[in-house]
Chains A and B, each alone.
Chain A
Amino acid sequence: MRSARFHAWLAQRPLLQWLREELVLAPLEPILHPSPRRLWWLGLSFFSGNALFAWIWSTWLPQPYENLPLRVVASLLGYSLMTKRVNHDPGSRLTQRVFGLVFWLELPVMFSWMYLCNSGSTVWLATLAAMVLIYYHVTDWRLATLGTITGGLLAFGMFMAVGPAVPLLPPEQRTVHAVVFAFAWSIALVLNLSSANLRREQLSSTLTTIGIMAHELRTPLSTAALLGDAIQLEVQRQPDNPRAQQLDKLALRLHALVRNMNHQIDTQIANAKLLQLPRYTERVWASKVVQDVVVAYPYQSSRQRECVKVIIHDDFSFRSSATQFSQVLDNLIKNALHSLMAADSKYPPGALRIEVGHTQHRGRIIVADEGMGIDAALLPQIFKPFFSSNRGTGHGLGLAFCQQVVQSAGGNIQVKSEFAVGAVFTIELPIAPG
């Protein structure tokens, strides 16, 4: 009730609503455009850039203050991003934390420190301005803003406490510096905000496109279903027709086709709603939702249907939305069947296995297939929106949707895969108490 009133109140304040969407609701992206390669190159530029500028500012174009030990530490920090352990999985917590820390220390903290220690020289003012632009380019604007402020404050505190005894920036120049820096900062902020918007635009326009398509298709599909009915009715009117059985079979095929297409449209619409997923806290029983989805899935053949094996070790319940979670399983089953088809599988029983069980505190649903598997190089990215392993047929929202739903239920989803052997998706969920 209170939340309904809050939303009504908010609806009348577009600015606040916009702020809430940008600040609170938009998903946090600690690393923009993550990929192992990009992380490696960013690491290299810190690693070599620090060495290069240590030489430039001390030997070639000497500046009042330069600090070799600091440059060495900064170089090594950059190197950490080049290690496999850090950059192989940009989606992992570890990588996100290391990345955030390195960039915070290297950019706002170190650059502010150098600026202060050089008494705010024009060289360092320009560098500081460039730093802000870079910082906003690599991380979420909310993190960049927080990092710039805290980094600046930390550098200032250290400068006052242990910094070299150099004069501060002359008072008459402070306003000029503030204006230049504010200009760079605001440009960085605007650019980042608009590109964040762009990504979300892409999602919402995908949703619109699918919505229009679904809308345009619903009547033709419904017509096709009626066509199937018309054939069946005709057969009933002439039961003695020698081709009656064949016609009836064709009508059934037509019906199955229509059901399948409607199912596809529903799934795609659910996927594209990625950013507008309402949160639910109904109690969902794992074995029930798994069994319901497996029964209702529109398989292409009975062979496909029979290859799915459900194994319930222990049932458990969790808090989520049954509808959304069904879509998650739908997506995973669809991917698995697709992968089996790509591997030219004969669909032996158990080629697609779904297991339900739990450890002490967490429930676990495993969807394992013996299909194509996923290329190791692609693994880190498959949960990203608009990443699709086959560009031609998918828009890359299915797994992003899965991750979003699972995470909003307090769980996580992981994948292990070996090329040409298969893929195992593991969903872990907190068990609902009581």
Chain B
Amino acid sequence: MSFALYRRPGGVVFLDDDPDYLEMLAEVMPLDWYVRLFLRPVACIELLLKEPARWEADAWRQQEIINRWREGAALIPQILQYWREDGTARFALTQVCVVDYSMPAMSGLRVLSELTGWSGARVLLTGRADEQLAVSAFNRGLIEQFIPKQSPEIRLRLTDSVQALLRQPDGRHQQTWRSTLSREQHALLCEPTIAQELENLALRQGWIEHVVIGAPFGVLALDRKGSASWLQLEPAGNLRELAEIAESQGWDAATVQDVAAGRKLIDLELQLALAAGQKPQPRQAFTIASGTAVLHAALFSVGETFSPGFMTSHERFIATSGERQLQD
């Protein structure tokens, strides 16, 4: 396992011919999911087929950030700007589609086969009779998962599966952001212990969206209230250089010593990138280690002026997306 380079929340679509079932799903699916419920396959297909174009535009927007970075523009302010300008549109893009196999109008597999160009994850709900079909569809790679409706603990199985699929990063995003990382940086993120530590940190901090970049090396993240934070990462070999810069910028000897020893980190590069005239601050650092590889890390909050803020936060997006109603 490696730490996802880009991850963000997305929508979940359920399609079933039974309105009662959909309404109950709406009741029990986690409240922080953007859930849409469809009774009619045609309506569902129509909605999902509108998405690839928006995906494309969004992916291109990210690619442009990289292109401008190659021309000399800093990454952090660009990403923050992208988030501010996008508002909440990206949260509405569907990442997982859960379809009942047996529906009167068309089978679930038929629906999924019509979704050419839509790249999200597909889950099939099955009954007793159609389990074989689901297995073969799974083996042929047509679906990511199938869940028998009669399985005990259906809610847990469904939420766990969909949650796991929501957390899976998009391949194209991975590729885009991989290009900002050096080989050494990427290797560090692929260390299982480091990846796990970062994953835990993301959970503890309540990050719902993050992007890993290489210059400067760190994770720019958003929590559900729309506040941004910066996790600065420094490989052990970089500490001396950082200490020298601190010394040249006039920090006292004790701080310079702390930086050199990895006890503290200073957000020099963040403040440089934001160019807001704020003085860099030293922060308590912690280490993330995996065997011989050691990463020093410190968490800095990004000022309110730069954060997307609550108005474009995921929490507000969910709160304003209204009741989970059947779409007809």
Contact = CB atoms under 8 A, between A and B. Distances in A.
Contacts of B102: 215
Interface string A252-267: 0000000100100110
B148 to A, nearest CB: 8
Nearest to B152: A259
Given A219-B18, A219-B149, A226 B127 contact: no
Q: Which 9 A-B pairs have the closest CB atoms?
A: A226-B24, A230-B27, A222-B149, A229-B155, A218-B127, A229-B28, A223-B21, A219-B18, A218-B149
A226 B154 contact: yes
A324 B327 CA distance: 43
A223 B129 contact: no
A269 B127 CA distance: 13
B129 A211 contact: yes
19 contacts: A214-B128, A215-B102, A215-B128, A218-B128, A219-B20, A222-B149, A222-B150, A222-B154, A225-B152, A225-B155, A226-B24, A226-B25, A229-B28, A229-B155, A230-B24, A230-B27, A230-B28, A233-B27, A259-B152
A25 to B, nearest CB: 21
Contacts of B155: 225-226, 229
B223 interface: no
A221 B16 CA distance: 14
Contacts of B16: 219
A300 B24 CA distance: 26
A226 B21 contact: yes
Contacts of A221: 149-150
A239 interface: no
A123 interface: no
Contacts of A265: 128, 150
Interface string A201-226: 00000000001001100111111011
A166 interface: no
A227 B25 CA distance: 9
Contacts of B128: 211, 214-215, 218, 265-266, 269
Interface of B: 16, 18, 20-21, 24-25, 27-28, 100, 102, 127-129, 149-150, 152, 154-155
Please tell me the size bucket of the interface on A: 20 to 34
A368 B138 CA distance: 45
Contacts of A226: 21, 24-25, 27-28, 154-155
Contacts of A215: 102, 127-129
A223 B20 contact: yes
A185 to B, nearest CB: 42
A366 B102 CA distance: 42
Contacts of B127: 214-215, 218
A190 B236 CA distance: 90
Contacts of B129: 211, 214-215
Interface in A167-225: 211, 214-215, 218-223, 225
B146 to A, nearest CB: 14
A223 B18 CA distance: 9
Contact of A220 (B20, B28, B100): B20
A233 B100 CA distance: 24
B24 A227 contact: yes
Contacts of A220: 18, 20-21
Nearest to B21: A223
A219 B21 contact: yes
Nearest to B155: A229
Contacts of A222: 21, 149-150, 154
Contacts of B20: 219-220, 223
Given A219-B16, A226-B21, 13 more contacts: A211-B128, A214-B127, A215-B129, A218-B128, A220-B21, A222-B149, A223-B18, A223-B20, A223-B24, A227-B24, A229-B24, A229-B155, A259-B152
Contacts of A229: 24, 27-28, 155
Contacts of B25: 226
A222 B149 CA distance: 6
B259 to A, nearest CB: 46
A146 to B, nearest CB: 39
Nearest to B18: A219
A223 B17 CA distance: 12
Contacts of A269: 128
B249 to A, nearest CB: 51
A143 B20 CA distance: 55
Nearest to A230: B27
Nearest to A214: B128
A239 to B, nearest CB: 17
A318 B149 CA distance: 33
A11 B123 CA distance: 33
Contacts of B154: 222, 225-226
Nearest to A255: B152
Interface string A221-259: 111011101100100000000000000000000000001
A211 B130 CA distance: 11
Contacts of B100: 219
Max count, chain A CB within 10 A of own CB: residue among B18, B128, B129, B150: B150
A167 B128 CA distance: 69
A136 to B, nearest CB: 37
B194 to A, nearest CB: 35
Contacts of A233: 27-28
Max chain A CB contacts within 10 Å: which of B18, B24, B129? Answer: B24
A221 B21 CA distance: 9
Contacts of A218: 127-128, 149-150
A220 B22 CA distance: 11
A281 to B, nearest CB: 22
Q: Give the interface centre of A211, A218, A221, A227 by most chain B CB atoms within 10 Å.
A: A218
A266 B131 CA distance: 14
A135 B20 CA distance: 58
B108 to A, nearest CB: 13
A234 to B, nearest CB: 9
A407 to B, nearest CB: 26
Nearest to B28: A229
